[in-house]
Homo-oligomer: A and B are copies of this chain.
Amino acid sequence: MGLEAKNPYENDEYKSDQAGELGDLITGIDHVAYAVADLDDAIEEYREVFGILVDHRELLDGEGVEIAVLRLGGSTIQLLTPTRDDADLAEFLDEWGPGVHHVGYRVADCAQALAAVVARGLEVQDDEPVPGVLGTTTAYLHPDAFHGTLIQLVEV
């Protein structure tokens, strides 16, 4: 025993090597994606308030979404707005209002991480990896699968 009192909330059992292969696959937070009603307004707000500038802007026609990517250290912020009333994102905004749409976790290998997640019994939206913005490979877990937040696996 050391001389210092041990913090009862530090639990060494979690620091063992129980993590297994998935712990090695996930390498960080790739991005936080916000649903916004007006993309230009949100971009301007990020510039004015935080001094963060747009790095890339893209129309995702199939999804009815326009996206702006803002670099923030080694991660990004994504601002998403619907371009059609029948886009899933328009429904999201109607139901929840503006806010976090999903969180992207960066993985070394999207196909491998997706397979590992499925093997653990989690429901997924994308059965196989799909192309994302800026040449990434991505897969959405199911919106209801992980305690209320839509998670996207992202291979850069």
Residue of B nearest to A75 (CB): B29
Q: Which residues of chain B are near A103, meaning CB under 8 Å?
A: 32, 100
- Does the CB pair A32–B34 fall under 8 Å? no
Q: Which residues of chain B are near A15, meaning CB under 8 Å?
A: 53-55
Q: Which residues of chain B are near A28, meaning CB under 8 Å?
A: 72-75
A71 to chain B, nearest CB (A): 10
A26 to chain B, nearest CB (A): 6
**Complex: A24 Cα to B45 Cα, angstroms:** 16
Interface residues, chain A, CB within 8 Å of chain B?
7, 9-11, 14-16, 18-29, 31-32, 34, 36, 42-43, 45, 47-59, 66, 72-75, 77, 97-100, 103, 105-106, 117, 120, 122, 146-149
A91 to chain B, nearest CB (A): 16
Copies of the polypeptide in the assembly: 2
Known: A22-B51, A28-B74, A32-B103. 20 other contacts (CB 8 A): A9-B57, A9-B58, A9-B66, A10-B57, A11-B54, A14-B53, A15-B54, A16-B53, A19-B47, A26-B51, A27-B72, A28-B72, A29-B29, A34-B149, A36-B147, A49-B122, A50-B105, A50-B117, A99-B100, A100-B100
Which of the residues B23, B31, B58, B97 comes within 8 Å of A7, measured between beta carbons? B58
7 pairs of A and B residues whose beta carbons are closest in the complex? A28-B73, A23-B51, A22-B51, A9-B57, A99-B148, A98-B148, A19-B51
